[in-house]
Structure 1
Amino acid sequence: MEPVVVLILFAVFLGALSQRVTGMGFGLVSGPFLVLLLDPFSGIILVNICGIVASFSVFARTFAEVEWPSFRHLALGAVIGTIPGALIASALPTAPLQILIGLLIIVSLISSLTLGRLGRRIPANLGTRMGTGILSGAMSAAAGAGGPAVSAYAVLTNWEQRSFAATLQPFLVVGTASAVVAKVIVHGGVWPDLTMGTWIGLGLVLVAGLVGGDVLSRRVDTSIARIGMLVLAFGGGAAALVKGIVGLV
């Protein structure tokens, strides 16, 4: 097996593991590696495909804890947000776009954590959910990073971790699928050029990562899972920012 294939499989395994334990993180963990190992276009498509499968698999185990009203409002906003996100992605050069998204992720998370420490909260209602969904959808279509916006919302509304992680799964399925459709319509897409053996391997490591994450999730405290979620979100923002700066240089 070629080294690049091994690295692709390992990246997908880590992403699936993170998705099950923290509720998010597939794109944040595996995305940067897959883009580097493949290319920016087919890499993002592969991230989206595997991310949809991972989220749907986790959703099948956690659907009883989903807050359906919250899901409907967030998902509707995400579908709307993918349209301007795809347009922005097609209009801006890659490096400035990555810098913009990275800064947006970092600033939103720092702001939410600061306000949370000060005891400031926002109401969990139709307006805040729709607004969060629109921002998440736009970021997902523009850079494959829709999770951090919802993470900031969870902090500011003090959303209980288990319910948040469960609701996030169908939301990510809808948001990611909408982002893929919007990007293909606006500026096309490139299907990953992988062998049948590699596709089978991807399926196996996805299952292995989700099963391993299921075992870990029973042993990891919810506060630790929330910290892991925020670390992943910050890491995704930092990775996008650094990659954009390097691209400009």
Structure 2
Amino acid sequence: MEPVVVLILFAVFLGAVSQRVSGMGFGLVSGPFLVLLLDPFSGVVLINICGIVASGTVFVRTWREAEWGSFWKLSLGTVIGTVPGALLAAALPAPPLQILIGVLIIVSLISSMIIGRIGKTMPANFGTKFTTGFLSGTMSAAAGTGGPAVSAYAVLTKWEQRSFAATLQPFLVVGTTSAIIFKAVFDHSAWPQLTAPTWIGIAAVLVAGLVSGDWLSQKIESSTARIAVIVLALGGGTATLVKGLAHLN
């Protein structure tokens, strides 16, 4: 097995573990590494594909706690938001897109941490939900990371954690599915060109990562898991940014 394939499988495994433990870590953790290992176009599509499976699997266990009224308002925004995100990804050359992905990951993570400390609140109405969904959809299509925008919204509206985490899973499925569709429409070459054994391996490590994450979620504190996700995501985002800058003419 080629070293790059091993690294792709390991990145997918880590993302699946973090998705099960933290509820939204797949794109943040595996995303920047898959972009580095593949390219910023097919890498984001692979993130979206795996993200659908990861979120869908978690949702099977949490659907009873989902807040469906919020889900539909957020989802309307995210479907519309994936259109400019996909257009942007299709229009940019690889190095600028890598820079954009790295910056989006770093800024979204730092913003989420700052928002969590300032103690501000905002109303949970249609406008804020639609706008949050729109931003999440744009980031999902452009960078494969739609979770931080919704996480910030949850903090600002003081959304109860269990209900938020349950609602987030079908929302991410809608956003990532929409991102794949529009990226395929605007860039026909975006689909990852991987061999059949590699796809089978990805499916296997996805399952293994989700099972491992389920076990790990019972052994560690959620705060510890969030710190690990942030550290990994910041490292990957920085590496993606540096690679983009290094190849920028």
Task: State whether TM-score is above 0.5.
Answer: yes
Structure 2: give runs of 5+ residues left out of the alignment: none
Aligned counterpart, 1:10: 10
- Asked whether the 8 Å contact 1:18–1:24 carries over to 2, the reply is yes
Q: Given the two structures, how large is their TM-score scaled by the length of structure 1?
A: 0.87
Root mean square deviation, CA, Å: 2.4
Aligned counterpart, 2:133: 133
Report the AA paired with residue 81 of structure 2. Answer: G
Distance 1:137 1:41 in 2: 16
Superposed, 1:180-199 pairs within 5 Å as: 180-199=180-199
User: 1:221 Cα shift?
Assistant: 2.9
- Asked whether the 8 Å contact 1:15–1:30 carries over to 2, the reply is yes
Distance 1:3 1:63 in 2: 38
Report the AA paired with residue 164 of structure 1. Answer: F
Distance 1:145 1:223 in 2: 20
**Farther-moved stretch of structure 1 (35-44 vs 226-235):** 226-235
SS of residue paired to 1:40: coil
- Asked whether the 8 Å contact 1:121–1:158 carries over to 2, the reply is yes
Aligned counterpart, 1:118: 118
Superposed, 1:56-205 pairs within 5 Å as: 56-205=56-205
Post-superposition CA distance 1:64-112 (Å, at most 9, x none): 2212122111111100101111122223333334434544444454445
- Asked whether the 8 Å contact 1:35–1:43 carries over to 2, the reply is yes
> How many residues are treated as equivalent by the alignment?
249
SS of residue paired to 1:122: coil
User: 1:45 Cα shift?
Assistant: 2.5
Post-superposition CA distance 1:118-156 (Å, at most 9, x none): 321122221111111101111111122212222222222
- Asked whether the 8 Å contact 2:104–2:143 carries over to 1, the reply is no
Distance 1:182 1:41 in 2: 12
1:217 and 2:217 are equivalent in the alignment: yes
SS of residue paired to 2:142: helix
Distance 1:57 1:25 in 2: 14
Distance 2:88 2:209 in 1: 33
- Asked whether the 8 Å contact 2:18–2:225 carries over to 1, the reply is no
Q: Given the two structures, how large is their TM-score scaled by the length of structure 2?
A: 0.87
- Asked whether the 8 Å contact 1:115–1:121 carries over to 2, the reply is no
SS of residue paired to 1:200: helix
Distance 1:77 1:85 in 2: 12
Structure 1: give runs of 5+ residues left out of the alignment: none
